[in-house]
């Protein structure tokens, strides 16, 4: 089998075979289907953006306001400055970038050994994979007690290290698939020429899977950026990631729809920008991460 | 294949031991320590900082602390730093923090239903030991809020911040047009009026809070009027009785004369249902009046009157302030509480619609003060009179919210099953029977004898305060 | 392919390297996941209450026995199963249809796919809040549209019959794009020659889908099913924000009930037992599906390389 990792799953421009819907009727149905789907999947995003620029008097009107007369940006200043959105951006950034970076180093090395040396056999692989599936609530109490015993609740360290429990398995799982697809001949010739294993890995293997590394890191970053359950358990007031801040905006007396939507938009913006900049990698990472298994 | 099973096993077991030392060692010690925790009053002497960390539910209820920061700074050199918790989940977060004896919070603001748990687990430092009870001018605090909410085992643990009670708000214009001369005096009366005034889709007879979370309070409000009690003296649940079933059936019946989305109605939606003019009468927390007379949020200014609920008025939630037993700044925390609770200061926030606090002192209950201190001086004198008058009556007939150890749990279970009955998935009788069974297992898990004693102390506190229970 | 991928004998000298590289990750995972799990296991044999003055006792399997009699546990398991099952079937069905439709439109395909993917890259708490406002009875857009169509207005999350479907709608909105993209990538990995040959045979579109495409996509489908099944089984945030388990216990899933017992009632022993049951369910499910996926395709040998190509 050739290395699937080396080319995009989306061959653009060439005529596409039609596995199911033949004929012009099928094409029409496809266009309609995609159009309807786009409206459905994008309308709530529009609703979020439009709510984020509505004045309070338009948050709960009946009928709802779909196009505000004027743009009201105070929700954004409220979200960023009164509700700590700015600090949330910084904290989310620190935690997500650190957890992703550390996870990439540890996870990629582990994936390589799992793929090439089959260390730990299928049990270690399955163990790592199954951690990805564990409901966070299952380890919530011991996890909380562990970090508070170390006096590290509500710190960057606690969140970053705890995020590694799903970041590493994810990266290891996805990267293992890429490494398995990579022909061993490349490394072998390097080894024959006297390179150490580390050299061979760094100089020969990694450059060959660079697109995969980008895609995997991107997805890991998105997961870390969005993480909620663990943040709720391990954060108080000093380290406040954006998903953590959001529910605190649900007050006893009033739901601040505009502020919440602004905060949501602020939180979504970085991942959406990155997703579009790296869309080629994102799509590929998703597909290969999932298509590969074991 | 050189990575054989033996080396693998050895490798795993070595890392296992290292991990065990780290994970188990630390966690178990803390866990055990936490479970046998006793209040650590000696930490009070430790470093006193100028900043007092105040735990409170996020949002408008935190505002008064911030308004008075400059005054507190001038008076005793300390300011407050708000640590806001989400309103839903506040209890979980406080407990998770306090079982590890964390000193993150200096002042805790919470509803009295949590007081039993917090005191019995040693989370709070008694105010009577940090200072002098006379600092709190307790005789001015309304009896229904005083001892049962603030005192345990003879010691003062908390001071009032927000008094809550349910009352009726109704539309005088709709009532007089229908020839109804007075607010309902019994629950049957209430049902009949709701039925008569129910003209959907333009006008609904009544509305109440039916969403999961607080719907139990609307059940208790009716149950109390029928003479219901929480428990018998030996801690048998007293809700699965004839009165209980009758009260829950009444609440279910009232659904027919309510807006069609009644199950979606929470606090904010209930206010909205009344303020937008579509509902003839509602049972709601007393601060609805401040909003109803505020033209910026109400379409019904000047068309309202306020009345006590039939026979009894349930007192859901409220907020009290206490000093954390693990605080390193207890003296300043004490001063903050004393300052915020004082009659002069509290009168300035309990009638301000920019926060959610409600009156709790005798000296608050003066109609002229509502106008003086209200952020919206638009409240007509007649409405202010009616509002304060209703609160006065309500408080004499106030029915207390459970605050023995485990109370948040008993209440959440009750809420779940009241909600089941409102949703129609269980009959009132089934719902209350199941709730009672769950209550029995809560009592068993907390220790039957402990609970019997805690309940009887609590009931006695009400009797001592002159409140009928 | 198997031959080039696994030649352990040549790699024997790498054992030290392998150990050193796999150890840091493994140690972190063991310390942070396995030991908490063991700790939970121990807790699950006690009647520990975080807020009780009664000292905890060792109760053996009593918590597990109590689970069997706990109506709320069974109803929460039922909710979780209904939720997971609906999520998987509906999202897979619609995802496949959308993927096939997108496949027909090569132009801007990647851009549209990324655009559609936005719901899946938002945090689920963001998604839940948006839908809370969309579902609002009087000011929400959904009821507004129903009103325009002269349909009766709905209470969505507050209606006992509609509450779970409403949550399903949110999950559908958030994760169907992700499913679509996985299947689309799977479609692209299929060799065009298969379909061309089939078309020459005169097979109908439906026949091609049923007998060619779907069997070849089996592996991708299995992975999608695992990911969504387990995601659905863990679902918590949208319940927390949208219904708090209500009305009644209509949307109280296993994960949510577990949270209530552990973090609201602090019955940590009982909650630990429940965690164990859910962990076991999840692992068994994952194993079964993975095993099914690993089995060779039950078709003539000629198809096997094609299946591998999809990998």
Q: What is the pLDDT of residues A139-196, one digit of tens each?
A: 887 888 788 888 888 899 999 999 999 999 989 988 888 888 788 888 888 888 888 8
Task: Say whether both A89 and A68 belong to one domain.
Answer: no
Q: In whole angstroms, give the CA distance from residue A271 to residue A276.
A: 9
What percentage of chain C has pLDDT greater than the value 90?
A: 44
Residue-number span of the structural domain to which A39 is assigned: 32-72
Amino acid A288: pLDDT: 55
Task: Say whether both A229 and A87 belong to one domain.
Answer: yes
- Please give the radius of gyration of chain A, using alpha carbons only, rounded to the nearest integer: 23
Q: Is residue A17 part of a domain?
A: no
Say yes or no for a CB contact (<8 Å) between C153 and B426.
Answer: no
**Which residues in A125-138 are b (16+ Cβ under 10 Å) and which e?**
bbbbbbbbbbbbbb
Give the residue on C whose Cα is nearest the Cα of A44. C130
Say yes or no for a CB contact (<8 Å) between B23 and A237.
Answer: no
Strand partners, B52: B80
Task: Say whether both A52 and A193 belong to one domain.
Answer: no
Ordered domains of chain B (ranges, CATH): 41-163+317-364 (3.40.190.10), 166-314+397-449 (3.40.190.10)
Instruction: Please report, for residues A226, B26, C139, C159, C171, the alpha-carbon distance to residue C144 in angstroms, rounded to integers and kept in the order given.
Output: 31, 55, 7, 17, 22
- Please give the radius of gyration of chain C, using alpha carbons only, rounded to the nearest integer: 24
Amino acid A6: pLDDT: 37
Strand partners, B56: B84
- Cβ proximity of A115 and A121 under 8 Å: no
Q: Of the candidates B323, B329, B355, which has an alpha carbon nearest to the alpha carbon of residue B67?
A: B355
- Cβ proximity of A62 and C133 under 8 Å: no
CB-based contacts of B455: which residues, under 8 Å, 6+ apart?
B230, B231, B233, B235, B404
Neighbours of chain A (3+ CB pairs under 8 A): B, C
pLDDT, mean over chain C: 84
Amino acid C304: pLDDT: 30
Q: In whole angstroms, give the CA distance from residue B243 to residue B249.
A: 10
Q: In whole angstroms, give the CA distance from residue C86 to residue C172.
A: 10
* pLDDT of residue C175 exceeding 90: yes
- Cβ proximity of B357 and B349 under 8 Å: yes
Task: Say whether both A59 and A180 belong to one domain.
Answer: no
Q: Is residue A24 part of a domain?
A: no
Query: Which contacts qualify for B75-79: CB closer than 8 Å, 24 or more apart?
Result: B75/B339, B76/B332, B76/B335, B76/B339, B77/B50, B78/B49, B78/B50, B78/B51, B78/B52, B78/B332, B78/B335, B78/B336, B79/B50, B79/B51, B79/B52
Amino acid A284: pLDDT: 64
Q: Of the candidates B324, B357, B333, which has an alpha carbon nearest to the alpha carbon of residue B72?
A: B333
Could you tell me the end-to-end alpha-carbon distance of chain B, in angstroms, rounded to an integer?
Answer: 78
Place of tokens 């690993």: C294
Say yes or no for a CB contact (<8 Å) between B61 and A254.
Answer: no
Q: Of the candidates A287, B441, A262, which has an alpha carbon nearest to the alpha carbon of residue C310?
A: A287
Which residues in chain B touch residue A158, judged by CB atoms under 8 angstroms apart?
A: none
Asked, as a colleague might, if the bond just before A262 is cis with ω within 30 of 0, I would say no
CB-based contacts of C207: which residues, under 8 Å, 6+ apart?
C198
Q: In whole angstroms, give the CA distance from residue B41 to residue B205.
A: 54
Task: Say whether both A36 and A153 belong to one domain.
Answer: no
Asked, as a colleague might, if the bond just before C38 is cis with ω within 30 of 0, I would say no
Q: Which of B7, B260, B425 lies closest to C160 in CB terms?
A: B425
Q: Which of B1, B28, B422 lies closest to C8 in CB terms?
A: B1
CA-based nearest distance A183→chain C, Å: 7
Q: Is residue A22 part of a domain?
A: no
C257 or A9, which is more confident? C257
CB-based contacts of B53: which residues, under 8 Å, 6+ apart?
B80, B81, B83, B104, B105, B106, B107, B329
Q: What is the pLDDT of residues A11-58, one digit of tens each?
A: 444 444 455 545 667 788 889 999 999 999 999 999 999 999 999 888
Task: Say whether both A50 and A121 belong to one domain.
Answer: no
DSSP at C33: I
Amino acid B375: pLDDT: 52
Give the residue on C whose Cα is nearest the Cα of B414. C248
3-state helix, strand, coil in chain A (%, to 5): 70, 0, 25
Sign of CA dihedral C50, C54, C58, C60: negative
| Residue B380 parent element (H or E) | none
Q: Which of A121, A145, A252 lies closest to B267 in CB terms?
A: A252
Which residues in chain A touch residue C117, judged by CB atoms under 8 angstroms apart?
A: 275, 282
Q: Which of B34, B58, B97 lies closest to A248 in CB terms?
A: B58
* pLDDT of residue C210 exceeding 90: no
Q: In whole angstroms, give the CA distance from residue C223 to residue C179.
A: 10
| Residue B107 parent element (H or E) | strand B107-110
* Per-residue pLDDT tens digits of chain B, which is 469 residues long: 333 333 333 333 333 333 333 333 333 333 333 333 333 333 333 345 789 999 999 888 999 999 999 999 999 999 999 988 888 788 988 998 898 888 889 999 999 999 999 999 999 999 999 999 999 999 999 888 888 889 999 899 999 999 999 999 999 999 999 999 999 999 999 999 999 999 998 999 999 999 998 999 999 999 999 999 999 999 999 999 999 999 999 999 999 999 998 998 988 889 989 999 999 999 999 889 888 988 888 899 999 999 999 999 999 999 999 999 999 999 999 999 999 999 999 998 988 877 888 899 999 988 777 765 555 566 788 888 888 888 888 878 889 999 999 999 999 999 999 999 999 999 999 999 999 999 999 999 999 999 999 999 999 988 888 888 8
Q: Which of C31, C153, C156 lies closest to B19 in CB terms?
A: C31
CA angle C235, A41, B212 (to 5 degrees): 40
C133 or A138, which is more confident? C133
Task: Say whether both A197 and A155 belong to one domain.
Answer: yes
**Which residues in B216-228 are b (16+ Cβ under 10 Å) and which e?**
bbbbbbbbbbbeb
**Which residues in B171-207 are b (16+ Cβ under 10 Å) and which e?**
bbebbeeeebeebbeebeebbebbeebbeeeeebbbb
Which residues in chain B touch residue C167, judged by CB atoms under 8 angstroms apart?
A: none
Give the residue on A whose Cα is nearest the Cα of B267. A253
Q: Is residue A11 part of a domain?
A: no
pLDDT, mean over chain A: 83
Q: What is the pLDDT of residues C23-82, one digit of tens each?
A: 999 999 988 888 888 888 999 999 998 888 888 999 999 999 999 999 999 999 999 999
Give me the CATH number covering residue A132. Answer: 1.10.3720.10
Instruction: Please report, for residues B120, B221, B287, B306, the alpha-carbon distance to residue B165 in angstroms, rounded to integers and kept in the order given.
Output: 26, 10, 9, 12
Least confident stretch, A126-140, C7-21, C280-294: C7-21
CB-based contacts of B221: which residues, under 8 Å, 6+ apart?
B166, B283, B309, B312, B313, B314, B399
- Cβ proximity of A224 and A167 under 8 Å: yes
Whether residue C150 lies within 8 A of chain B, CB to CB, comes out as no
Amino acid C237: pLDDT: 85
The highest-confidence range among A129-138, B240-249, C124-133, by mean pLDDT, is B240-249
Q: What is the pLDDT of residues A218-270, one digit of tens each?
A: 889 999 999 988 888 888 778 999 998 888 887 666 778 999 999 999 999 99
CATH node for C44-132+163-309: 1.10.3720.10
Amino acid B372: pLDDT: 59
Amino acid C206: pLDDT: 79
Q: Token pair of B308, please?
A: 């006590």
Q: Is residue A234 part of a domain?
A: yes
Task: Say whether both A40 and A101 belong to one domain.
Answer: no
Provide the 3-class DSSP secondary structure of residue B166.
strand
Task: Say whether both A186 and A269 belong to one domain.
Answer: yes
Say how many domains are in chain A: 2
Number of H helices, E strands in chain C: 18, 0
Burial class (CB in 10 A: 0-12, 13-18, 19+), B245: buried
Task: Say whether both A143 and A97 belong to one domain.
Answer: yes
Give the residue on A whose Cα is nearest the Cα of B34. A145
Q: Is residue A9 part of a domain?
A: no
In chain C, residues 66-85 whose CB comes closer than 8 Å to chain B: 71
CA-based nearest distance A3→chain B, Å: 25
Say yes or no for a CB contact (<8 Å) between C181 and A172.
Answer: no
- Cβ proximity of C137 and C153 under 8 Å: yes
Say yes or no for a CB contact (<8 Å) between B447 and C53.
Answer: yes
Q: Is residue A41 part of a domain?
A: yes
DSSP output for A27-57: HHHHHHHHHHHHHHHHHHHHHHHHHHTS-GG
Task: Say whether both A107 and A68 belong to one domain.
Answer: no
C300 or B152, which is more confident? B152
B424: left (phi over 0), alpha (psi -120 to 50) or beta: left
Q: Is residue A280 part of a domain?
A: yes
Q: In whole angstroms, give the CA distance from residue C220 to residue C200.
A: 26
Amino acid C36: pLDDT: 87
Amino acid A90: pLDDT: 96
How many C-beta atoms lie closer than 10 Å to residue C214's C-beta?
14
Give the residue on A whose Cα is nearest the Cα of C172. A41
Task: Say whether both A263 and A196 belong to one domain.
Answer: yes
CB-based contacts of B13: which residues, under 8 Å, 6+ apart?
none
Say yes or no for a CB contact (<8 Å) between C100 and A37.
Answer: no
Say yes or no for a CB contact (<8 Å) between B212 and C19.
Answer: no
Q: In whole angstroms, give the CA distance from residue B232 to residue B448.
A: 13
Amino acid B409: pLDDT: 95
Q: In whole angstroms, give the CA distance from residue C129 to residue B78.
A: 37
Domain residue spans of chain C: 44-132+163-309
Supply φ then ψ for residue C225, to 5 degrees: -60, -45
Chain A residues whose C-beta is within 8 A of a chain B C-beta are 60, 117-121, 124, 142, 144-146, 148-150, 153-154, 232-233, 236-237, 247-255
Say yes or no for a CB contact (<8 Å) between B3 and A237.
Answer: no
């Amino acid at each position: 089998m050739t290395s699937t990792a080396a080319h995009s799953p989306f061959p653009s421009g060439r005529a596409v075979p039609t596995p199911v819907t033949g004929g012009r009727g099928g094409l029409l149905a496809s266009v309609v289907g995609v159009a309807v789907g786009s409206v459905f999947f994008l309308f709530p995003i529009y609703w979020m953006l439009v709510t984020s620029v509505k004045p309070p008097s338009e948050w709960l009107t009946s009928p709802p306001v779909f196009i505000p007369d004027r743009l009201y940006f105070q929700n954004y200043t409220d979200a960023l400055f009164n509700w700590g959105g700015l600090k949330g951006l910084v904290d989310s950034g620190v935690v997500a970038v650190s957890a992703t970076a550390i996870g990439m180093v540890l996870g990629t090395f582990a994936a390589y050994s799992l793929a090439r040396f089959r260390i730990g056999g299928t049990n270690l692989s399955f163990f790592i994979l199954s951690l990805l599936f564990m409901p966070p609530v299952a380890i919530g109490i011991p996890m909380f007690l562990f970090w508070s015993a170390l006096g590290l609740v509500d710190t960057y360290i606690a969140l970053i290290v705890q995020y590694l429990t799903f970041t590493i398995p994810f990266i290891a799982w996805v990267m293992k698939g890429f490494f398995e697809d990579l022909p061993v001949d490349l490394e072998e010739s390097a080894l024959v020429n006297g390179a150490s294993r580390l050299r061979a890995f760094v100089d020969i293997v990694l450059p060959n899977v660079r697109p995969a590394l980008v895609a995997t890191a991107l997805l890991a970053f998105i997961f870390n950026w969005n993480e909620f359950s663990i943040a709720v358990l391990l954060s108080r007031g000093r380290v406040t990631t954006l998903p953590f801040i959001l529910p605190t905006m649900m007050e006893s007396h009033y739901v601040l729809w505009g502020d919440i939507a602004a905060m949501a938009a602020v939180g979504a913006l970085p991942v959406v920008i990155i997703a579009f900049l790296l869309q080629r990698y994102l799509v590929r990472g998703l597909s290969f991460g999932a298509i590969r298994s074991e | 294949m050189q990575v054989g099973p033996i080396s693998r096993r050895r490798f795993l077991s070595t890392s296992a031991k290292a991990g065990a030392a780290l994970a188990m060692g630390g966690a178990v010690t803390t866990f055990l320590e936490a479970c046998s925790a006793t209040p650590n009053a000696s930490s009070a002497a430790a470093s006193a900082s100028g900043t007092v960390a105040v735990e409170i539910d996020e949002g408008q209820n935190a505002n008064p602390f911030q308004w008075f920061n400059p005054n507190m700074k001038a008076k005793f050199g300390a300011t407050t730093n708000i640590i806001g918790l989400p309103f839903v989940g506040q209890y979980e977060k406080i407990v998770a923090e306090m079982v590890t004896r964390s000193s993150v919070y200096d002042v805790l603001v919470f509803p009295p239903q949590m007081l039993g748990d917090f005191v019995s687990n040693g989370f709070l430092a008694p105010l009577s030991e940090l200072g002098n009870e006379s600092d709190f001018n307790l005789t001015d605090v309304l009896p229904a809020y005083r001892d049962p909410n603030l005192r345990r085992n003879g010691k003062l643990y908390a001071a009032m911040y927000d008094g809550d009670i349910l009352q009726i708000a109704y539309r005088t214009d709709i009532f007089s047009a229908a020839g109804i001369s007075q607010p309902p005096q019994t629950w049957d009366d209430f049902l009949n009026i709701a039925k008569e005034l129910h003209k959907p889709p333009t006008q609904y007879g009544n509305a109440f809070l039916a969403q999961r979370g607080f719907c139990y309070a609307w059940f208790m409000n009716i149950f109390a009027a029928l003479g219901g009690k929480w428990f018998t003296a030996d801690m048998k649940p007293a809700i699965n009785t004839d009165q209980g079933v009758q009260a829950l059936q009444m609440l279910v019946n009232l659904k027919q004369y309510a807006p069609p989305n009644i199950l979606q109605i929470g606090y904010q939606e209930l206010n909205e249902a009344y303020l937008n003019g579509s509902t003839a009468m509602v049972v709601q927390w007393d601060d609805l009046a401040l909003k109803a007379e505020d033209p910026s949020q109400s379409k019904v200014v000047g068309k309202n009157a306020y009345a006590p609920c039939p026979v009894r008025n349930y007192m859901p939630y409220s907020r009290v302030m206490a000093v954390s037993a693990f605080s390193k700044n207890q003296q300043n925390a004490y001063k903050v509480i004393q300052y915020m609770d004082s009659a002069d200061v509290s009168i300035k926030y309990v009638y301000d619609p920019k926060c959610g606090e409600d009156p709790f002192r005798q000296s608050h209950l003066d109609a002229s003060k509502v106008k003086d201190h209200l952020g919206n001086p638009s409240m007509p004198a007649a409405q202010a009179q009616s509002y304060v008058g209703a609160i006065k009556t309500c408080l004499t007939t106030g029915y207390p919210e459970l605050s023995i150890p485990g109370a948040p749990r008993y209440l959440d279970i009750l809420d779940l099953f009241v909600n089941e009955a409102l949703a129609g998935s269980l009959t009132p009788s089934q719902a209350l029977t199941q709730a009672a069974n769950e209550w029995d297992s809560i009592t068993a898990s907390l220790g039957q004898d402990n609970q019997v004693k805690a309940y009887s102390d609590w009931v006695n506190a009400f009797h001592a305060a002159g409140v009928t229970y | 392919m198997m031959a080039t991928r696994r030649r352990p004998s040549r790699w024997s000298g790498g054992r030290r390297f392998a150990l050193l590289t796999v150890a840091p990750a493994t140690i972190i995972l063991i310390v942070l996941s396995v030991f908490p799990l063991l700790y939970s296991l121990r807790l699950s044999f006690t009647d520990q209450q975080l807020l009780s003055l009664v000292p905890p006792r060792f109760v053996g399997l009593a918590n597990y026995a109590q689970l069997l009699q706990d109506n709320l546990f069974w109803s929460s398991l039922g909710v979780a199963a209904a939720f997971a099952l609906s999520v998987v079937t509906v999202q897979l069905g619609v995802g496949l249809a959308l993927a096939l439709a997108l496949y027909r439109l090569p132009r801007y395909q990647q851009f549209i796919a990324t655009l559609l993917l936005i719901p899946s890259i938002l945090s689920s708490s963001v998604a839940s809040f948006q839908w809370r406002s969309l579902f609002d009875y009087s000011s929400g857009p959904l009821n507004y549209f129903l009103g325009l169509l002269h349909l009766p207005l709905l209470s969505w999350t507050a209606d006992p019959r509609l509450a779970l479907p409403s949550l399903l709608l949110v999950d559908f909105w958030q994760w169907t794009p992700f499913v679509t993209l996985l299947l689309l990538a799977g479609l692209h990995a299929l060799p065009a020659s298969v379909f061309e040959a089939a078309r020459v045979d005169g097979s109908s579109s439906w026949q091609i889908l049923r007998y060619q495409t779907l069997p070849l996509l089996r592996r991708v489908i299995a992975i999608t099913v695992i990911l969504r099944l387990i995601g659905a089984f863990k679902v918590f945030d949208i319940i927390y924000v949208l219904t708090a388990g209500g009305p009644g216990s209509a949307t109280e899933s296993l994960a949510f009930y577990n949270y209530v017992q552990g973090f609201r009632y602090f019955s940590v022993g009982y909650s630990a037992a429940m965690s164990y049951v859910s962990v076991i369910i999840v692992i068994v499910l994952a194993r079964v599906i993975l095993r099914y996926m690993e089995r060779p395709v039950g078709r003539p040998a000629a198809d096997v390389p094609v299946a591998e190509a999809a990998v």
